[in-house]
Every structure is written in structure tokens, then in C-alpha cells.
Structure 1
Amino acid sequence: MHLALLLSLGAAAVANAAISRNIIYFDQWHTTELPPKNLTGAVTHVMMSFANSSLFAAQPAGKYKPFQSIKQVRQLFDHELNVCLSIGGWNDNSGFDEGVKTSSSRERFAKNIASTVDRLGFDCIDIDWEYPGGNGQDYKQVPNCKKRNEIKAFPLLLKEIKKYIGRKELSIAVPGLERDMIAYTSAETPRINESVDFINVMTYDLMNRRDNHTTHHASIEGAASAIKRYISLGFPASKLAIGIPFYAKWFTTKNGYTCNQPIGCPTEPLEDELDGSDTGKSGSMTFEATNFAAPPAKLAITPDNTCGVRAGFKCAEGSCCGESGWCGSTPAHCGTGCHFAYGKCDGIDISSSFHQALKNGYTDEEKGAQWYWDAKTRIFWSWETPELIQKKISFLADTYGIKSVMAWALAQDSNDWSHLKAMQKGFVGVNT
């Protein structure tokens, strides 16, 4: 059956069931190449990402300005759906840390969110405080022992938010690794559940820069482990949505090791031992079109120091086009992630390694994951194929009754939309 017809049938099925959700995060950094409407007919929620949490902790509140209007976002789809405001993100802790502290700060935080939602016309709120209780980006500066109060205060904050937004839906994004589920105790999870309408489980980034041995960043086994844990803590399966990443992750392995298996190969230090900052030995690559585009035969030298595929310029001779798309001569510009076709580079050609991985990757049938080790660069790659996405959705629906899905992020699969198509097909399949 044609995918567009499948999606139209899926949208009708979901409308009738009124319980399964098909959620896509729409981030402010990827807004140009968006999927055609015939591929998104079953999407039920779009999460505009992100509003900084500090805006809502302040008094008076800071004024959030969306990167697109609600009307513009709705026009990206050919059916009615929920447009939600997502607050937070991986590196956003400070506003939450302040907002959760006291009953008055929680009330202020909640009121500020409610007034913003009403002013802009959002249908729902997503709290993307990924690490309440500790293990956030600042865990070296603010140790977990100083955030223990957040474990009991987090449910109170959610309760206050739900009180002020009323009938609008409230969701949370939660970590996929058990070591990060600090706030989700057997005592507090039922209290959290009372306030939230659904939970977006980040069943990806299951390997990150805090690890020192390789494993899959996304897998069927890893997703099942996270889902099983959250159900055991008290979240109903009907509220859980499984996460799907539209990106691959890479990690540098230690010299002198041959990594013929995906699990357990030692890595270089991926974060600074003292402050937890990125060492540049790991990263990610999305499946967006710019990461597959060949550079033009003739490139002009940049007039404004921007460079790379998006800018369409190369750097002046002797200058490097850094991962950020700016020319320079620092190690950050010239090292790992540097764009080889757009200037001088001293580091590893991540783009070439990425395409080699996609061409020659292996499927870990036992874990349900895709991987590749580039012996020349010592780069370990981990990602999900479209086939594995469908298998993951089907397995978790059959095993745990999970029929909702979530993806990061809308425009990050623009090369051929194959991961988005697989997600939509899998979602429709378990809901019809």
C-alpha cells in the first residue's frame, strides 16, 4: 500500500483511538529542508524546540519569541495537530534549578509558562528538563549531591504547571539510561504521573561522552530496557512514547585496539576529567541533505567568514572551515569535524568516515542496532536504519503495548526521508 494512503489511514485510526501519539521535535537550527506533507499525515504533535528555562524562572518573565509563528508551523502539515512549546534541552538546567526551589518559585515558573502559552497560542507544553536531580551538563560544577532536593520538588513543579495550563497537555522528556533516571524513583514516579499526559522516552544517546567503552547509542534492546524500567516505576505504557534519532553518533576508540565487535571497545577520553567539557573525540551526524551533498565544482572565497555546505563558500588559503561553519585557524576549526572540501583541515575527515559507515555498516541482530568501526580513523559509529526503526516500533508494541513514537528531529532526515518514512509506517502499523 502507498505510504501516503497508509498515513491517511493511520491518522484516522489515531483520531479514533485518541491515545497513541506521533510526536516530532522541530528544532530552531534546522528549518529550511522540511518533509513533504504526504509523509507527515499521521503526526499528532509538533514540539517547537527550545525555549530557555531561565525565561520562566525570572520575575518579570523573559519574553519568548518563537523561531516560527504557530500559524507557520501549522501550515507545514495538511491536517489539524497539536503544536507544543518545548522548554529546556540537554544543556539547559539553570532555569529549572531556580524554578523548582520553593513553592513561590514553582508558582512563578508555572504562571509564566501559562501566560506564554496563552499569548502565543500553543496547544501543549513539553518540559525537556532531561536531568532533574543531577547528571546534567553541569554535573562536574554542581555535583548530584547538591541537587537531591530536586527529586521531591520535580513532581511539585509539574503539578503547579498542570494547574495553571489547565486542560492543555503536559509532557516531559525523560532519559533512556537508567543511570540518569535519578528523579524517577519508585516513590516519585507515581506523583509525576499524576500531572503529565505523556512521556517522551529518549531511547537514544544510550552511549555518550561519559562512557569509556563502545556500545550502541540506539538499539531495540536499549529501548526495551528503558521502557521496562519506566513501567516498573509506575508509568503506564499508554503514556510512553519511544524515541527515534534521525542521526548517527561517533566515538574515537583508543589506539592499539581492534574493534571487531560493537560492545566494549575502549575509547579515548570523551570529556574533560575536571570540568566535563567535550574533548572533540565524539559527535554526531544527521541524515539531512547537507551531509550528503557534494561540494560545488567551483567555490568562492567567503566574504563574511562563513563556510561549508549551507554557506556555499570556502575559506581563504590556510584557513580551516570548522564544524560550526565558520573559518578560523584554531584547533576547534582545524581539528575533528573540519569540512575538508571547504578549507584546510588537520583532523579526521568525519564526513568520509560517515559515508563509509553507511555503506559498510553491520547489523547487530542480537541487540537490534547498526554499527561500524573505521579502522583507519579509529572511529566507532552507531545509528538506526529504517528497517531497525520499524522492528523497534513493532517489538515494543507487541511486548509492552507501546504504540506512541517520538523523533528528534523533523528536518534531520532530509536526505531521503527514509527514517521518517519508517517511523510513520511503523506507527501506522501498530495503530491499525
Structure 2
Amino acid sequence: MKTLSNHLLLLVQTALFLYVASVAGCHHPEHQHTTTTTTPALQPTTTAAPAETTTTAPEPSTPATSKSDNRLIAYIADWALPEKIAWDKLDQVIYSFAVPDESGNLGEFDADQLKSIVKEGHDNGKSVSLSVGGWTGSLYFSSLVGSESSRAKFAKNIANAVDEFDLDAINLDWEYPNSANGVACNQNDPQDTANYLKFVQQLRDTLPKGTLINAAVATAPFNDENQQPSTTLDPEWKGALDGFYIMGYDVNGNWNEDAGPNAPLYYDGQSDGIDTVSADSAVKAWSAAGIPSDQLYLGVPFYGRIAQVTDKVTARTGMYQPIQKNQIKGDEYDEKSADPCPGAKSTFSGMYQWRSIEQQGISTNSSGWETSWDTASQTPFAYKGNRVLSFDDPHSLREKVKYAKANGLGGVMLWSLEMDDADNTLLNALQGIRKD
């Protein structure tokens, strides 16, 4: 997620998804594109925003050093740090992004700012990770892991960053191995997934003992040599990575024919114009490919996506309406931007952060908006005229926590912390994942 400046990072996504061909997954946010089957749409029922419950967990006296200690993980963005981090409500923070150049040198982040975050995290007894890559930072991953010498050099550069910044973990965010679903000018190779495994193993041998390695991954397992999701992964992956952070958001957006849920927990044949992917299907796909459930983490968004559709939306029609293809502006933080590839066009992302949703009273039927609950996806949506906004609220996040616990997942990951409101409403809704 870069030859593009960091503060524009999240804003490039909509244009990029027009290149999507088959599978992926995001953070930061990309998705998997598949063919759907036509079935009748389910009708949502109107619901008021649920009351919030705050739960906190005791702080450890030292940074977490095992994957079992890291159940709730939050990404923070170099270009948009939260005013205050509620360390007592988190287990790990991932600072994003360190962008590798063609030689594997890491850059495009504020080193002093990262040092400050690490100190603050350690003072609060929490672990801090650095994310390497991202949506526009994945251009050179393929060649960087493509040979023994380049893997060794890249791993050494990351290990140097761990030493320099006193990091507890490394987050790899390659979007995506041997895939047409990333940035259009990403390097790709049929051996990407095999080489990625070799690199992670090399990195494991190079990093200080006890350093965790996790990866942000798509909603389908890494692609095989034919750019198709692997049905079975090499068993070595289980020992190579400590956690697989499934980006269960950006599933639907302006790249589809119809409006649909940004981060569905389930899919139930709502429309033939949206993606069939859901958090549930993603977890099942990774599990079937051989990854233990306790190494899978469900990624949830602190933002939604807005679309303009052809007809007026009501609670009766639901959100699954044909989209007018010009992406409209999201909230005040949404600015036009382009990806780092030649000829790329600037566009709005259509993202609507929770803090804006809350501030404008959208989830409580204010400012002319009406909010309904989509039973099929287990997420809310709001509508105003022919605009529809799919997002997550405390209710939907608690449902995802219940799902993660019921299915024995390692925890929950969120993108990204500054998008919450000043009362930590969404973060509070996730606290259940930290309790046995």
C-alpha cells in the first residue's frame, strides 16, 4: 500500500480495483473478485445503533512475545496517527508502512515517529510491529524474494530495522503474490508463492530469536503458479508465519455491478452483481488449505464505502442496487489520488471513516440518513436518496468477535485505528476477543 506519498495511500483503491481479475483479499485494503450466482435479495430490517459496552484487559508488564498474547491487533498509519492510542485496549500495534525499493531498502516512513510509538508501546507493556509493503508498496516483492541472494539481502534489511527500532514483530503485506489483483505495475512471477515461503523462512533465521512474523493476506490462500488460489498450501507455511491476518474488507465497492457490503461476515446469495466472498468463506478457504485456525486472524474495517446507485434506496429495496460507475467522494478525509503506475487516473476512494459516520449521526438516522441492518451479511448500511453506505458498527463487530471465538481463530486485526471516534467506540466493541 508506493511511489505515492503516504498520506494519499488509502485513497487509491477504487481505481486499482478495476484491474482485479480473480482473487485477492486487503488493508488495506484490497479484495477478491469472483463470479456470483443469482438468487433473490434478502430484505433488511431497520435497526437502531446498539448500546456500547466497554471492556478492558489488564496490561502485561513486558511486551508480548508469543502469538497467543496478541489477540487484538491494530494498524496505525504513518501519515495519520491517532491523537491517542488506547494501549490498554490493544495487544499489538502495527506501524505502516515501510516500503521496499528495488534493492530491498526500506523507506517512506517517519523513523523518529516510529521510535516514539515503539517507546510508548513498550512503556505500556505492548508489542509493536512494522509493516513492510502495502497496496502501493508491493511493486518489487516478486524480484526481492526471487533469488537466494536477494532474499538474504531483503531479510537482512528487515532485521536491521528490527534492531534499530527495537521491534517485537514484523508484518509482511505483499498485495499479492502472483496476482493480477494488486497494483497494475506490480512485478509477478509464477513462483511467487514458493519464493515467498523461502523468504519468510530466511527471514525467520535472520531475525532476533522471539521476533514474531505475521502477514496481511487476501481472502483466498496465496495463488498457485496459474494465478489461482491454492487449494493446499505447503505445510511449511504453518511454521514460517505466526499469524495470517485476513483482510476481510473491501470485498465490494464501485468495481462491482451492484452496491454490496464492504466487509460481509457471510454471503447468502444476495445479488449476482456483488462478490461472493465473506469473512466466513475466507476463514474456511485458509483452513482448508492447511492453516490452523489459531493462526488465522480476522481483519475488520473501521471505515465503510459509499456508492451512488441508479435508484432511490429504502429499507425495503436493500443496498443491492446497480451502481453508477463514477465513484463519488466519501467523507472529509477522502481526496482524489492515483496509484503509482504510468497512466493511472486519480479518483476518490469512496471511503467513509467511522469517526465521520458517528460525527454526522449517520448510524442513528440523523442528517437525512436512514440506517438498516442487512441480515445476510450481518452488517449495517445507510441510505440517503440514491446514495448507499456500507460500514461496520459496534453490533457488526461484536458479531465478528463471536465468529472468531466460535471458530477458534487467533484473534482480530483492524484497519485502522485513527478512524475510530474519540470514545473508542469500535475498539471497545472488539474487546471480547481478548477474554477467554
Normalised to the residue count of structure 2, the TM-score between the two structures is 0.71
Q: Describe how 1:332-351 pairs up with structure 2 within 5 A.
A: none
Work out whether 1:118 is the aligned partner of 2:167. Answer: no
The aligned counterpart of 2:377 is: 367
- Counting only pairs closer than 5 Å after superposition, residues 195-344 of structure 1 correspond to structure 2 as 195-221=240-266, 222-253=278-309, 255=310, 260-263=317-320, 265-268=322-325, 277=344, 280=347, 282-288=349-355, 292=359
Q: Which has the higher contact order (CA 8 A, sep 6+)?
A: 2
- Aligned partner of 2:71 among 21, 25, 29: 21
Alignment of 1:390 with 2:432, yes or no, is no
Report percent identity of matched pairs.
22
Distance in 2 of aligned mates of 1:29 and 1:125: 19
Shift of 1:128: 0.9
Q: How far apart, CA to CA, are the structure 2 residues paired with 1:414 and 1:243?
A: 19
The answer to whether structure 1 residue 41 and structure 2 residue 88 are counterparts is yes
Aligned ranges for residues 152-231 of structure 1 at < 5 Å?
152-167=194-209, 168-176=211-219, 185-221=230-266, 222-231=278-287
- Does structure 1 residue 381 correspond to structure 2 residue 389? yes
- The answer to whether the 8 Å contact 1:270/1:278 transfers is no
Asked whether the 8 Å contact 1:202–1:243 carries over to 2, the reply is yes
SS at match of 2:388: strand
By how many angstroms is 1:252 displaced? 2.8
Q: Deviations over 1:32-58 (max 9, x none)?
A: 5224x4xx4242211011100227615
CA distance in 2, matches of 1:292, 1:161: 43
- Is the 8 Å Cα contact of residues 252 and 380 (structure 1) preserved in structure 2? yes
Give the Cα–Cα distance (whole angstroms) in 2 for the partners of residues 49 and 72 of structure 1: 12
AA of the residue aligned to 1:382? S
In structure 1, distance between residues paired with 2:53 and 2:180: 41
Q: What amino acid does structure 2 have at the position aligned with 1:246?
A: F
Give the distance between the partners of 2:200 and 2:358, measured in 1 at CA.
Answer: 39
1:85 match: secondary structure = strand
Amino acid at match of 1:247: Y
Distance change (3 Å), C-alpha of 1:250 and 1:64: closer
Describe the superposition over 1:287-336 as per-residue Cα deviations: whole angstroms up to 9, x where unpaired: 2379838xxxxxxxxxxxxxxxxxxxxxxxxxxxxxxxxxxxxxxxxxxx
Q: How much has 1:25 moved relative to structure 2?
A: 0.8
Q: Take 2:201 and 2:120, find their aligned partners in 1: how far apart are those partners? A: 32
Contact 1:210 1:270 in 2 (8 A): no
Provide, for residues 48-102 of structure 1, a one-character-per-residue CA deviation record: whole Å limited to 9, x for no partner: 11100227615xx769652514344442686311111111111222231331221
Show the counterpart of 1:339.
none
Matches within 5 A, 1:126-165: 126-139=171-184, 141=185, 146-165=188-207
Structure-2 separation of matches of 1:10 and 1:278: 46
Report the CA distance between 1:386 and its aligned residue: 0.4
Instruction: Return the offset for 1:250.
Output: 1.3
SS where residue 80 of structure 1 aligns?
coil
The residue that corresponds to 2:57 in the other structure is: 8
The 2-side partners of 1:16 and 1:173 are apart by: 18
State the Cα deviation string for residues 178-222 of structure 1 (Å, max 9, x = none): 798957523435333331011111111111443232221112212
2:421: which partner in 1?
A: 414
Contact 1:74 1:81 in 2 (8 A): no
Q: Greater CA deviation, 166-175 or 210-219?
A: 210-219
- SS of 1:41's equivalent in the other structure is helix
Counterpart Cα distance in 2 of 1:63 and 1:405 = 27
2:32 aligned partner: none
- State the secondary structure of the residue aligned to 1:122: coil
The Cα of 1:174 is off from its aligned counterpart by 0.5
Q: Which amino acid is the alignment partner of residue 176 of structure 1? A: T
Q: Which has the larger radius of gyration?
A: 1
Supply the distance in 2 between the matched residues of 1:373 and 1:180 (Cα, whole angstroms).
37
Deviation at residue 275 of structure 1 after TM alignment: 8.1
In structure 2, what is the Cα distance between the partners aligned to 1:388 and 1:132? Answer: 30
Cα separation, 2, equivalents of 1:96 and 1:225: 27
Pick from 80, 84, 89: which aligns with 1:30? 80
Tell me if structure 1 keeps the 8 A contact 2:369–2:382.
Answer: no
Amino acid across the alignment from 1:22 = L
Distance verdict in 2 for CA 1:281–1:116, change over 3 Å? closer
Q: Which amino acid aligns with 2:202?
A: E
CA distance in 2, matches of 1:28, 1:206: 24
**Cα distance change, pair 384–166 in 1 and its aligned pair in 2 (3 A):** same
Q: Give the aligned partner of residue 82 of structure 1.
A: 127
Alignment partner, residue 101 of structure 2 = 54
1:380 offset after TM fit, Å? 2.3
Long gaps (5+) in structure 1: 294-350
* Mapped contact 1:152–1:188 kept (Cα < 8 A): no
| Conserved? CA contact 1:289–1:415, under 8 Å | no
8 Å CA contact retained: 2:221, 2:289: no
The residue matched to 2:75 in structure 1 has which SS?
strand
1:137 Cα offset (Å)? 3.8
- Quote how far apart the aligned CAs of 1:244 are: 1.6
Compared CA separation, residues 215 and 386, structure 1 to 2 (3 A): same
Equivalent residue number for residue 433 of structure 2 = 427
